[in-house]
Amino acid sequence: MSEWDNRYRTDDYVFGTAPNDFLAEVATRIPAGRVLCLGEGEGRNGVHLASLGYEVTGVDGSEVGLSKARALAASRRVALATIVADLATFDLGEACWQGITSIFVHLPPALRADLYPRVVRALAPGGVFVLEAYTPRQHEIGGVGGPPPSLADWLLTLERVRAELPGLEVVIGRELDRDVNEGARHSGPSAVVQVLAVKP
């Protein structure tokens, strides 16, 4: 993950220190307990959830990013566990998380097809999956953020998310254009899909 290590190797927080807007909006709909943040990076989302009382673990391929996440957690006086791992091989466990988040974690289709069923299995009954990602319209509107056009199949639509998360009930599912203000790399008009799904 040297690319992400290099990206995070700066004193600034590349995507800011405030939580993602959608996650902040729906966070309290996650049942009390353990939350796993996929692709946690520099920690802004996990730290926010920890401040709400959740027991949070952030997993990411970048030790540099997670080191900054731990520093952010310490500055906010909250606990944040971190694991450096590749999502292709990371063991999410079975029925052990009250919440799992995926905020702008764009993955190759083959990895998504393997990971998302593991997400469903890893959620406890009543557990919540929160996702926000860019849609293919991101390229049409010239938005800042997300994979380049050559990796368009890494982008998500609501239809694709529904198809790849069998076993979850989609409570919130929408595609919309919104202004994103999350550091220099996620800034300006954006085309996104937002999902909150619950495991029965």
The model's pLDDT over 146-173, given as tens digits with 9 standing for 90+, comes to 999 999 999 999 999 999 999 999 999 9
> What are the residue ranges spanned by the domains of the chain?
2-198
> Any idea how long the chain is?
200
Q: Label residues 48-80 b or e (16+ Cβ within 10 Å = b).
A: bbbbeebbbbbbbbbebbbbbbbebbeeeebeb
The model's pLDDT over 31-81, given as tens digits with 9 standing for 90+, comes to 999 999 999 999 999 999 999 999 999 999 999 999 999 999 999 999 999
DSSP state of 19: P
> Can you read off the two tokens belonging to residue 70?
């731990």
pTM of the model: 0.96
The model's pLDDT over 96-117, given as tens digits with 9 standing for 90+, comes to 999 999 999 999 999 999 999 9
The reply to whether CATH 3.40.50.10470 applies to domain 2-198 is: no
